[in-house]
Amino acid sequence: MTATVAIGFDPGLAITGYGVVQDAEDGWRVLAGGVIRTRSDQPRAERLRDLCQEARELIEMYRPCGVAIEEVFFATNAQTAMRTAEARGALLVAAAAVPVRGYTPLQVKKRITGYGKAEKAQVQAMVKRLLRLPEIPKPDDMADGLALALCYLLDARGPEGVDDVYL
């Protein structure tokens, strides 16, 4: 098996978490993780442009087999949902050259913990365990990005492999 790399993005206009995970013969390995921050004093279009550019740079640097982006799922605040959806759109533009998969929070929880209603702390503990990390990744946005990258790689190991499917 050759090493396979996936990038996961947890979209947000102010903060987007990301995780870059490699699946190799000896197991999963974190290549990078962090957050992309945009400045609140900039116009929204500039913030989205900056997010797209930084995400594109990560994709060019790590050359992933695919990208996982969390689906927007909000039931309470429409304005937050709209801004998150716009950030997600910027990430989709950045990832136009590679296969992209979308995952709902429930799908991430189920793939990582086996239980779709798992608490955030349970997901973070499993990310730590699956990636053999010394501690739970911080900040939470980065941990979510790593979980999304793991989802993509878990699907890649599945019987049908990964194709360019936008779930």
Q: Please list the active-site residues.
A: 10, 70, 141
Q: Say how far apart CA 69 and CA 145 lie, in whole Å.
A: 8
Angle between helices 120-130 and 140-157 (to 10 degrees): 60
Residue 70 φ/ψ, nearest 5 degrees: -65, 140
- C-alpha 52/C-alpha 20 separation (Å) is 16
Q: 71 pairs with which residues across the strands?
A: none
Instruction: Select from 60, 64, 38, 40 the least CA-distant residue to 49.
Output: 38
DSSP for residue 39: -
> Residue 95 corresponds to which amino acid?
A
| C-alpha dihedral sign at 79, 85, 91, 96 | negative
DSSP run (H or E) holding 112: helix 105-113
